[in-house]
Every structure is written in structure tokens, then in C-alpha cells.
Amino acid sequence: MNTLHNEKRRFDRIFHDANIRLKDQSSTEIQCKLLDISLNGCLISKQQEKPLYKVKDRINVSIILADELAIKTCAHIAFIGNDDHIGLQFDEIDIDSVTTLRRLVELNMGDSLMLERNLHALGSVKDTNPD
């Protein structure tokens, strides 16, 4: 990832291994791997040769944590890297998924003050959703 994305990052990311299913408006579904995640988005590695998406595309995301535990969200493509990495920014998330996400981040951070700082930053995010 280039330094531009590092400088703009306001949320601490945790490394977590999980499978992801992306589904676009035409119901085309692809499998990806989660590389890291924050309260505001995640970095994934696509497993398809040709790119199916472009920046600002809206997609449904299912992050599979266990057999019956998943984080489901609507997101948009924030960037596509040259190394097959895709950055997603979460746009909508239901209460069960945000609770699971918060718990996942909390357990992996190990620092409640850092988690509170991230939650405060999430509350102050300006509308960066695509038009």
C-alpha cells in the first residue's frame, strides 16, 4: 500500500484471516481473503485474475468468521492496488454485525483506550461515500 493511504488512515487496523464473499448489484459473487480490518473498512486480497470492480463501486460484503458468525455490510471500493489488494470502506452495517466487528477489533487491539479513540474517530468521519 502506498504512503498516501497510510497518511489518510484514522483507524487502527488489525490483521485477521477470514474468507470474504463480495456480491455486486448484478449478484455476481467472488471469493476473497481478508488481510486486515478496522471499524471503518478492510483490506482484502482478490483471488480473480481480471478485475471485476472499479473504485467507488458499491458491493455487499460478507466476512465469514466462523460457521455461524459473519460480519455483513455494504461497502464501496476505496482503492484498488497494483498488488491485487482492494480497500473497502464500510457504508452500512447492521447492529449485529457492528457489535461483532467491535468485539473483534477490541479483542485484537488489547487496548481499550485505543478502541475508544477509534470509536470517536468513527463518529467524526465525514461523508466520504461516492456520489
Domains detected in the chain: 3-123 (2.40.10.220)
The pLDDT value given to residue 79: 92
Q: Tens digits of per-residue pLDDT, 28-74?
A: 888 999 999 988 999 999 876 666 788 999 999 999 998 889 999 99
The pLDDT value given to residue 55: 93
Sequence-separated (6 or more) residues with CB below 8 Å from residue 18: 33, 34, 63, 64, 65
Q: Within 13 Å of residue 30, how many CA atoms lie on the same side as its CB?
A: 18
68 or 6: whose pLDDT is higher?
Answer: 68
The pLDDT value given to residue 126: 46
- Whole-prediction pTM: 0.75
88 contacts 76 by C-beta, under 8 angstroms: yes
Q: For residue 50, what are the CA distances in angstroms to 15, 53, 54?
A: 26, 9, 11
